[in-house]
Structure 1
Amino acid sequence: MAALVLFGSFFLLLALRIPVAFALGLASLPVLLFEPRLSPSVLFNEMFKAYNSFILLAVPFFLLTANLMNGGGITDRLMRLSRALVGHFPGGLAQINVILSVFFAGISGSSTADAASQGKLFIEAQVKEGYDLSFSIAITAVSAVLAVIIPPSILMVVWGGVISTSIGAMYLAGIVPGLLIGLAQMATVHAYAKKRNYPVYPRANLTEIYKAALVSIPAMMTPVIIVGGILLGLFTATESAAVAVLYAAVLSMLFYREMSWKSFMTAIVDTGKLSAVALFCVGTASVFGWLLAYYQIPKALLANVTDWGLGVIGVGLLIAGAFLVVGCFLDAIPAIIIVGTTLQPLAESVGMHPVHFAIVGIVSLAFGLITPPYGMCLMISCAVAKVPLSFAIKDTMIMLIPMLVVLLAIIVFPDIVLFLPRIFSPEMIK
């Protein structure tokens, strides 16, 4: 009955177009009101416990890093390097779009921030050069999801805080899957460009590549500082995010000198708004998840599944399927808190490594950022282009196919995920 009230109220509120964060909190209220052993004060207590987390401080820090990088001319320098490296490939500007997303993913950790900045940079520019508008929207949206897979990732921070998995190990584990998905996207662009005869840029010479790399090296040191600092034990994930903010501020204001004090304050205000949205979701989802645990709903849901005799691959496919479906309707952060904690015992029961479980879950949730009806990155890209969501659905779905192949490979071959942590930080994955 509790499950029926919780999920029934939640989906009803979603159907009424109530924002997800409010729907999770409001769906929890009827149970708290009518259960004699509970009271509405649980809502506030559990939300406060969720916010009282040192790890979650990393979320606003990474968002601020991304905003400082965008406002400080760092994105422009990374775009120059991307053009020098892949501009001569078929579909040159779209290839630059993907490569810039790879670079930006190593800085921001936020796919929505990436989609917004890339959309403004690329969609109109690609159309002017002869690319189809639907293709331009689709490649901008799908490449933006790399930001939650390639470290530093806000989803990895939340996962580590909620499911107690080593964030440093997840950072290392996300590198290869993220690069493989980036390569899959570049191959898709290549196929489109050959079929539709999209334009290319002249090949850059070694001097141009050297100059572009030279001005970009300071910006590309950001992920090295973040991940390297954690692995060397110099600071925690949260402290690394604070260091990234200081580094981005120094680069933008003192080194490149392209950010004014006014722009700096604007970046802080924008970060506050984005952080409030993300962390409010964390609070209400934590209450919803607490009620699921209180009534042992996950145990009841998984009671029969554990009797199916699935191995690691079977459970991996089940986990990916669950996150792929949930991601279509729910933001990634509440999905981690609710679905991730529900599926964790199942993953443990078949001996699935916690880091492997985390990466399968996060990569699967990344698809939810581009699949309707939620599809936040696709929504942002369509909003930038001023077209309805349905306009770019066909091209978006085509681009998801090679990405799904990479997801399947990650499930079947866990070493794709685990070999970097085993080499550089074996103590983190014991």
Structure 2
Amino acid sequence: MTDYMEVAAPTASNAGARNFAGAFRSADRWFGAVVETIAAGLVLVEIGIMLAGVVMRYVFHNPLIWSDELASILFLWLSMLGAVIALRRGEHMRMTGLVSHVGPGARAFLDTIAAVAPLALLALILHPAFDYASEEQIIVTPALEISNAWRAAAIPVGMTLMAVVAAIRLATHHRPALIVAAFATTAVLIAAFWLAGPLLAPLGRTNLIIFFVGVVAANVFTGVPIAFSFALATFGYLALTTSTPMMVMVGRLDEGMSHLILLAVPLFIFLGALIEMTGMARAMIQFLASLLGHVRGGLSYVLIGAMYLVSGISGSKIADMAAIAPVLLPEMRRRGAKPGDLVALLSATGAQTETIPPSIVLITIGSVTGVSIAALFTGGLLPALVVGTALCVVVWRRYRHEDLSHVRRASKREIAKLAIVALPAILLPFVIRTAVVEGVATATEVSTIGIAYAVLMGLLVYRQFPWRRLKSMLVETASLTGAIIFIIGCATAMAWGLTQSGFSQQLAKTMAAIPGGAYGFLAISILAFVVLGSVLEGIPAIVLFGPLLFPIAKQAGVHEVHYAMVVILAMGIGLFAPPFGVGYYGACAISKISPDEGLKHIWSYVAALFIGLAVVAAVPWLSIGFLKF
């Protein structure tokens, strides 16, 4: 021990290294505080602009013609700064199922590779991004009459900041030897592809497999964030096998991130955070528990019902589960529920509620495919109810012999009191969905109305509004928004590359040849999206394949809203089913239960999800029966 201590004693070089690392950490804190403050401010400004637009249009009948344009400009800046924050926090979506199962040494190396890969992409694409912003100078916006470069500059500025963040994370989170090894490996791979360029060009569509299957899979399974995996594959394909200027790729990325309907994403994320902070979610759950708490398996039914009410508003299934689990799971444990069954049901309810409006996945589908948001909102309620009923059957079978002799049944007076308290909270999801479906307001506009409603309820009714949490909520909103929108941008660029290659036409011919007509097409789509949901998660999968498959579904005779519900539920099952579904591990983290405990309990719930999905796929009326034709 003495010898070891003498060897490990501080030296001048060790002290210098610590000072160097300390300087990086200090720079990281300063840099992070500045970017987070600006991003939080942009979220507030966006809410203010959209709310002002709604008030001027519907109250004073004097619309602000510049509000949407200004909101769109600021939204791109918010998305890019949010992507910077997400990269700094390590919150970009990534697949870690395989990385977590290798040894500590290999895992450390792969984690370093996953940190170097984004930096490599940013170094490659930064110059085209600045060229793209420069080209946008000649375009003048119609309402504000300013150069479009003010908006487009968000892309190169955001990428520069991401490069800075990636470099700081490398210096502060990874060992120097691993950094050198990761840089060397990445450089060798890039050089190998570059030198192989003349050999790749004549291969034609074989390059689609090399880049969009091989490169994407290698990056995703190595733990590289999904957005950067898509972008690296797209950049490599376009640069090495086509004559397309890289500035075009940046333009497609911009296009994917600039749909105004996507502005609903940060607004609904913030609304979901408000619902939890103001106690509205807790009020809903307590009321449902008073109704069903005395029934065998009653709290499990409450969990399913609470996810149905709350789901979709926050934009994050993890946020939905985090709002509900701390309230219900401790009491369910006290009643004797097995921890593994709790996490299994929590995970299954996440998959069940993917179609419930105002789901961010629904908004994304509407954005990339052109399907009516109001129609998607109308079509999503019954499919989730069918799948939820299938889960309730499993709950009934498991808890039909539960001992409730120690459970007190709530009195009618207590139920009535809790109902009054919960009423403002219960009304909010229905007001949001009704306003969009009836055409009273767009998905973006109604989110601002919901925010104003939640703030008033928190201040005046529930008397719970901790102001100190506001900034952290705004920063978390920006981070999640950046992670989601940057994926959409990168997936849009990748989908464009696939389309330009002729892949979409070939895919259409292949899918059209599947026997069984519409039901054969639905069956193969279910299998495909279960796999895609487990690997890519819902939003990147739908952005990548939605524009390709929805037209084919229409040709096969499948209604686009019906198809949307089927593929969303299929992706939800993939997202929350082990061993690859990251949603399952999110549920385990929130409930603080080991993933191993849930494995033996979850398969009956997964079976119920598949049965519910089969019913939804077989009966189109469940998705389109209430649409206005």
Contact kept, 8 Å, 1:122 with 1:140, in 2: the verdict is no
* Matched length: 423
- From the superposition, tell whether residues 66 and 362 of structure 1 become closer, same or farther in structure 2 (CA, over 3 Å): same
2:524 match: 318
Give the number of the structure whose alpha-carbon radius of gyration is greater.
2
Contact kept, 8 Å, 2:341 with 2:601, in 1: the verdict is yes
Contact kept, 8 Å, 1:112 with 1:376, in 2: the verdict is no
The aligned amino acid for 1:405 is I
* TM-score of the pair, normalised by structure 2: 0.64
Quick one: percent identity of the two aligned structures?
A: 27
1:281 match: 487
The aligned amino acid for 2:336 is G
* TM-score of the pair, normalised by structure 1: 0.92
Aligned pairs for 1:59-74 (under 5 A) are 59-74=265-280
Task: Please list every run of 5 or more consecutive structure 2 residues that lacks an aligned counterpart in the other structure.
Answer: 1-205
After superposition, give the CA deviation of every residue in 1:175-221 in whole Å (9 maximum; x if it has no partner).
Answer: 11112222222221221113665888433333332222211111122
Deviation at 1:385, TM superposition (A): 4.1
After superposition, give the CA deviation of every residue in 1:275-316 in whole Å (9 maximum; x if it has no partner).
Answer: 121112111111111111111213223423313343222222
Task: Please list every run of 5 or more consecutive structure 1 residues that lacks an aligned counterpart in the other structure.
Answer: none
Deviation at 1:109, TM superposition (A): 4.6
SS at match of 2:337: coil
Aligned pairs for 1:23-422 (under 5 A) are 23-105=229-311, 107-194=313-400, 201-421=407-627
Contact kept, 8 Å, 2:378 with 2:437, in 1: the verdict is no
Distance in 2 between residues matched to 1:401 and 1:88, nearest whole Å? 27
Contact kept, 8 Å, 1:129 with 1:199, in 2: the verdict is no
- Taking only aligned residues, the RMSD between alpha carbons, in angstroms, comes to 2.0
Distance in 1 between residues matched to 2:603 and 2:404, nearest whole Å? 20
Distance in 1 between residues matched to 2:440 and 2:376, nearest whole Å? 17
- From the superposition, tell whether residues 109 and 176 of structure 1 become closer, same or farther in structure 2 (CA, over 3 Å): farther
Distance in 2 between residues matched to 1:180 and 1:43, nearest whole Å? 41
Deviation at 1:169, TM superposition (A): 0.9
After superposition, give the CA deviation of every residue in 1:103-142 in whole Å (9 maximum; x if it has no partner).
Answer: 2126435322112333333444433432111101111111
Q: Higher mean Cα deviation, 113-122 or 85-94?
A: 113-122
After superposition, give the CA deviation of every residue in 1:225-255 in whole Å (9 maximum; x if it has no partner).
Answer: 2222223322112111222222222222333
User: Is 1:3 equivalent to 2:208 in the alignment?
Assistant: yes
Deviation at 1:35, TM superposition (A): 3.2
The aligned amino acid for 2:431 is I
Distance in 2 between residues matched to 1:86 and 1:370, nearest whole Å? 26
2:148 match: none
- From the superposition, tell whether residues 304 and 380 of structure 1 become closer, same or farther in structure 2 (CA, over 3 Å): closer
Distance in 2 between residues matched to 1:63 and 1:182, nearest whole Å? 24
Distance in 2 between residues matched to 1:275 and 1:145, nearest whole Å? 21
Distance in 2 between residues matched to 1:335 and 1:197, nearest whole Å? 44
- From the superposition, tell whether residues 388 and 13 of structure 1 become closer, same or farther in structure 2 (CA, over 3 Å): farther
Contact kept, 8 Å, 1:302 with 1:346, in 2: the verdict is yes
- From the superposition, tell whether residues 198 and 404 of structure 1 become closer, same or farther in structure 2 (CA, over 3 Å): farther
Contact kept, 8 Å, 2:357 with 2:380, in 1: the verdict is yes
After superposition, give the CA deviation of every residue in 1:319-370 in whole Å (9 maximum; x if it has no partner).
Answer: 2121112111111011101122222232111221111111111111111221
- From the superposition, tell whether residues 318 and 8 of structure 1 become closer, same or farther in structure 2 (CA, over 3 Å): same
- From the superposition, tell whether residues 42 and 372 of structure 1 become closer, same or farther in structure 2 (CA, over 3 Å): farther
2:194 match: none
The aligned amino acid for 2:527 is G
Contact kept, 8 Å, 1:109 with 1:154, in 2: the verdict is yes
Q: Which has the higher contact order (CA 8 A, sep 6+)?
A: 1
- From the superposition, tell whether residues 372 and 287 of structure 1 become closer, same or farther in structure 2 (CA, over 3 Å): farther
Contact kept, 8 Å, 1:252 with 1:258, in 2: the verdict is yes
- From the superposition, tell whether residues 309 and 94 of structure 1 become closer, same or farther in structure 2 (CA, over 3 Å): closer
- From the superposition, tell whether residues 123 and 235 of structure 1 become closer, same or farther in structure 2 (CA, over 3 Å): same
